[in-house]
Amino acid sequence: MSSLIVVGISDVKIARTPGVLITYALGSCIGVCFYDKAASLGALLHIMLPDAPEKIDNVFKYADTGIAETLRKMESMGGNRNRITAKIAGGAQMFHVPGDNHLGNIGRRNSDSVKLNLLKQRIRMLGSDVGGTFARTVEFNTATGIATIRTYGQHDKDL
Amino acid sequence: MVASYEDLNELQLDAIREVASIGAGNAATALSSLLSQQVKIDVPNVTLMEYSSAIEILGGPETIACGIMVRLSGDMNGIILYLQELDFINVVLKSVFNKTVDRYDELGEMETSALIEIGNIGISSYINSLAAFARMDVQLSVPAFCINMAGAMITVPMTEIGYESNKIMLLDGNFKCGGQKVSSKLLLVPDVQSLSALLARLGVNK
């Protein structure tokens, strides 16, 4: 547990094997775990919103720019996008306000955008745990490539 | 006009603190009479912080809490989030049903309804007094409820303003029941335009 690397909101961290990356309490946000086993490289990206506006303050806040930039960084560290795979978790709807679509859809819009952008970048998605009405903490072990999803009141789940 | 939260000056922050304190005081009075015991609230904090530090200050991302959320519209757009932990929940349950619980999963439908109702009354008193003071017309949505990680609930208002800002403005107040501090927090997160409108009404808009 000593080598737990914490990823904040709108943030990415890249680790060499056997680093363990963690991001806490994903609600409508999405955690994307990138893995290149041959290069012993793993990354965990925590995005908050689906698409970047014209004026970008922080590339890791948005699914499209966050995914592109994470791949670029991994490649600069010896990763190869033909080998890189991804697992995603989050995209929940924490509150349901009756008659209010705008708020509820953000989790869904995030997961749609993440999936679309992984596809555009030709990254294979090996697992996903998205949607629902509960928060998720994701712990990504770069030694095994396993992403463990922790939720409140349910058993842990491995992706 | 205030273009972003960072533009606020001391005078404006003081004015915001003042209205928040009127709102919080009214919420405390409403809760006092409902729970038939003295409920007090500290002078509210008005803080501007990065998303990740906001979560830390509110007790860490994985803390489980019960959250009641109401969306504001009209002259003020934003979200108000009322976070309650077990100690405060038990004050409510003791007063309404004369019982307490040890865990969140012991909360049944009756208990949950009571918590939503109490939360909604606290929120409405807060917003109505603030709106009356600032002469603004503010509508409140039906309350939404969830029991889960507090960190994920706080990201709900953050995503709402995420395209405008990298910081969040929190107007928060801690409650005391019968002299004891309880884990109960009211957070008001107005969007930037509403904040400008509020400051204009208070006569401190540059």
ipTM of the complex: 0.87
Least confident of A83-97, A130-144, B52-66, B127-141: B52-66
Distance from C-alpha of B175 to C-alpha of B185, rounded to nearest angstrom: 7
Check: CB of residue A43 under 8 Å from CB of residue A73.
Answer: yes
Q: Pick the catalytic residue: A15, A20, A21, A29?
A: A29
Least confident of A23-37, A45-59, B24-38: B24-38
Check: CB of residue A145 under 8 Å from CB of residue A155.
Answer: no
Q: Give pLDDT, residue B134.
A: 87
Distance from C-alpha of B95 to C-alpha of B186, rounded to nearest angstrom: 20
* SS3 state of residue A119: helix
Mean pLDDT of A90-102: 78
Q: Give pLDDT, residue A15.
A: 95
Mean pLDDT of A86-112: 83
Phi, psi of A143, rounded to the nearest 5 degrees:
-75, -35
Nearest Cα of chain B lies from the Cα of A98 at a distance, in angstroms, of 7
The count of residues in chain A is 159
CB half-sphere exposure, B56, CA atoms < 13 A: 8
CB contact under 8 A, B166 and A57: yes
Residue A53: list chain B partners with CB under 8 A: 163
Q: Give pLDDT, residue B53.
A: 79
CB contact under 8 A, A95 and B51: no
CB contact under 8 A, B152 and A94: yes
Check: CB of residue B161 under 8 Å from CB of residue B189.
Answer: yes
Query: What distances in angstroms separate CA B107 from CA A52, B100, B110, one per listed residue?
Result: 41, 10, 8
* SS3 state of residue B118: helix
Select the more confidently predicted residue: B168 or A111: A111
Element (H, E) at B73: strand B64-74
Q: pTM value?
A: 0.89
Phi, psi of A87, rounded to the nearest 5 degrees:
-135, 140
* SS3 state of residue A58: coil
Tokens at residue B48, please? 């501007």
Burial classification of residue A124, based on how many CB atoms lie within 10 Å of its CB (0-12 exposed, 13-18 middle, 19 or more buried)? exposed
**Is it the case that residue A100 has pLDDT exceeding 70?**
no
Q: DSSP code of A65?
A: H
Q: Which of B116, B149, B168 to mutate to test the interface with A (most CBs of A within 10 A)?
A: B149
Query: Within an 8 Å CB–CB cutoff, is residue A130 touching chain B?
Result: no
Nearest CB to A103 within list B61, B71, B166: B71
Q: How many CB pairs under 8 A join A and B?
A: 96
Distance from C-alpha of B166 to C-alpha of B170, rounded to nearest angstrom: 13
Mean pLDDT of B93-109: 92
Mean pLDDT of B94-122: 92
**Is it the case that residue A1 has pLDDT exceeding 70?**
no
Select the more confidently predicted residue: B48 or A93: A93
Q: Give pLDDT, residue B130.
A: 87
Mean pLDDT of B37-54: 81
Query: Within an 8 Å CB–CB cutoff, is residue A29 touching chain B?
Result: yes
Query: What distances in angstroms separate CA A127 from CA A85, A123, B148, one per listed residue?
Result: 9, 12, 24
Check: CB of residue B164 under 8 Å from CB of residue A57.
Answer: no
Q: Which of B155, B158, B160 to mutate to test the interface with A (most CBs of A within 10 A)?
A: B155
Distance from C-alpha of A130 to C-alpha of A138, rounded to nearest angstrom: 12
Tokens at residue A159, please? 């992706």
Mean pLDDT of B97-104: 93
**Is it the case that residue B105 has pLDDT exceeding 60?**
yes
Nearest in space to A45 (alpha carbons), one of A105, A114, A109, A92: A114
Q: Give pLDDT, residue A102.
A: 57
Q: Give pLDDT, residue A65.
A: 97
Burial classification of residue B150, based on how many CB atoms lie within 10 Å of its CB (0-12 exposed, 13-18 middle, 19 or more buried)? buried
**Is it the case that residue B159 has pLDDT exceeding 90?**
no
CB contact under 8 A, B148 and A95: no
**Is it the case that residue B113 has pLDDT exceeding 50?**
yes
Percent of chain A with pLDDT over 90: 85
Interface of chain B against chain A, CB under 8 Å? Answer: 51-52, 55, 61-62, 64, 67, 69, 71, 105, 141-142, 144-153, 155-156, 158-160, 162-163, 166
A33 is catalytic: no
